[in-house]
Chain A
């Protein structure tokens, strides 16, 4: 079955500490994976996608097909990173399969 799992509902780290939001997937084809972010009082928006291999706002995510993971990482957390983060997988019909989300809180 196609599935995206974000094991942590809540992640709390101190400012300046490294952040890793976990995402594991189950998909029979060649996956395309995304991270979406929802800041307080803002609309849900795309943060980054694995195919672009980009770094956005200091965040990176590497697709590990062996471990079927797409963890989101940032070496030094900032207070403005506090938000809800969703991992998603695009299937061959352009449908997104969503994880349950992780709420990231950055403590000062």
Chain B
């Protein structure tokens, strides 16, 4: 069953703790993305990676970190430096080519992080 798997679905964290969200894909996609989804604000890009061992900051990277050691995996760490971490986090992947495939992202089911 191909797709993107995010875990955990729900996560609670105390203030001051780091937490890592997992994202795995078996679609053989080159690019992977992390978005934050807040009501009324749409999707905001945190980090993205187009190739293994390389990643770029998105619009709201502060307080987050990522790694891309394998093509299939793109974990996101929400650090204690993130001022407002309670949110819904979405991971996505895509192929990198022009034409019909461009711009089509495949999303995971999301991870809801709540900071207590």
Contact = CB atoms under 8 A, between A and B. Distances in A.
A56 interface: no
Contacts of B40: 9, 100-101
Given A86-B42, A94-B31, A98-B43, A43 B105 contact: no
Interface in A27-50: 32, 34, 36, 43-46, 49
Interface string B73-116: 00000000000000000101010100010111111111000000
State which size class the interface on A falls in: 20 to 34
A68 B73 CA distance: 37
Interface string A69-108: 0000000000000000010101000111011110000000
Interface string B33-53: 000000011111100101000
Given A32-B103, A44-B107, A90-B102, A95 B45 contact: yes
Interface residues of B, number: 23
Given A9-B40, A86-B42, A95-B45, A49 B107 contact: no
Interface of A: 6, 9, 32, 34, 36, 43-46, 49, 51-52, 86, 88, 90, 94-96, 98-101
Interface of B: 31, 40-45, 48, 50, 90, 92, 94, 96, 100, 102-110
